[in-house]
Amino acid sequence: MLTQTPKELEKNYIEIKPIFSEGSIEVYEVIDSSGNSFALKLYKIRKFFKKIIKEIQIGIYLNNQKGTETSFIKYITSETDINSKYTFIIYELAQKYTLKDKLLSRKYFDEKLSKIIFWDIGHKINNLHKIGIAHMNLNLENILLDYNYNIKIAGFSSAEFIIDKQDGIKEDIFQLGVILLQLISGKCDKKILEDKCLKIIKKGDYEFFWNMIEIGSNKEFSNEIKELINIMLSIKLPNGQEWTLDEILNKQEWFDSINSVENNNYMIETFKQIEGLD
């Protein structure tokens, strides 16, 4: 539950709208005196100060990399004081919907739409890896759609520089595998899905796993997408294959027929249709 709006916010913004609260983090849409809107993430500083500083460092680093402005929610500024009760991080407000909002509206996405969405997200995270950052918190809520239906990645509170977190790439690939499974099956509870996936996949019983997913979704999936998800979900196992996102995106048969321009238009039109049904 959102707390009473801190006085520090009231001094700086003419309008403050709560968006959501999760644990010790609260997120607001704020409007300054010039009418500019931002997303403000409010932390309880005494508990999360080191984590906040890392998030700010990641935001500044991303801002200094070429080509990131269309892929990731932009860090704007922050106010930190270790002696204060609160600290704020300001991001651009580019959100129209989260990907979870769209999935809940549709129940699940067909393989074509799922492929287009995953291709876009996968390339953005692959580029993130190439500049040395692992996201570490990929989920449907952290994938946003702006007003032109462009996908942007948010939620860098758990991000790490890869040099400091060598298994960060594996974690991102696993989380992307969970997201892809959510898109095609409509199963949105990440924790339950992850727990079930890991328990079954650790036993190597992929056939039972897919029987369970297909029965629960009342649909069948192609062998190509099953193979892809098997690879991604097993990457963190001791005997898991060592894949990069480059290899996954460029060597998997499921992506052979993808065309970025035509498919991007298909994605936009589909999202518009879903929106019209809401």
Domain boundary among 24, 58, 92: 92
Q: In this structure, are 83 and 167 located in the same domain?
A: no
Q: Do 59 and 92 touch, CB atoms closer than 8 A? A: no
The dihedrals phi and psi of 20, each to the nearest 5 degrees, come to -165, 170
- Within a domain: residue 1? no
Three-state DSSP class for residue 21 = strand
Percent of the chain with pLDDT over 70: 91
Question: What distance in Å separates the CA atoms of residue 12 and residue 184, rounded to the nearest whole number?
Answer: 43
Angle, in degrees to the nearest 10, between helices 99-106 and 168-185: 30
Q: Going by C-beta distance under 8 Å and a sequence separation of 6 or more, which residues neighbour residue 71?
A: 124, 127, 128, 152, 153
- Do both 62 and 144 map to the same domain? no
The mean pLDDT of the chain is 84
Same-domain check for residues 72 and 115: no
Domain identity same for 77 and 104:
no
- Indicate if the alpha-carbon torsion angle 203, 208, 214, 218 is positive or negative: negative
**pLDDT tens figures, 205-241:** 888 888 888 888 888 888 888 989 988 988 887 776 7
Residue 1 has what pLDDT? Answer: 47
Same structural domain for residues 178 and 239? yes
257-278 residue pLDDT tens: 676 667 778 888 888 887 775 5
Residue 26 sits in the same domain as residue 129: no
DSSP β-ladder status, 86-92 and 37-44: antiparallel
161 and 267 share a domain?
yes
Domain edge (last residue) among 92, 117, 133: 92
Residue that terminates a domain, selected from 26, 57, 92: 92
Of residues 47 and 134, the one with the higher pLDDT is 134
Q: Which domain holds residue 31?
A: 7-92
The number of residues in the chain equals 278
Distance CA 228, CA 173 (A): 11
119 and 225 housed in the same domain: yes
Number of structural domains found in the chain = 2
Residue 82 and residue 45 share a domain: yes
55 occurs within a structural domain: yes
Same domain, 138 and 212: yes
On whether both 170 and 265 belong to a single domain, the answer is yes
Q: Tokens representing 118?
A: 């995953």
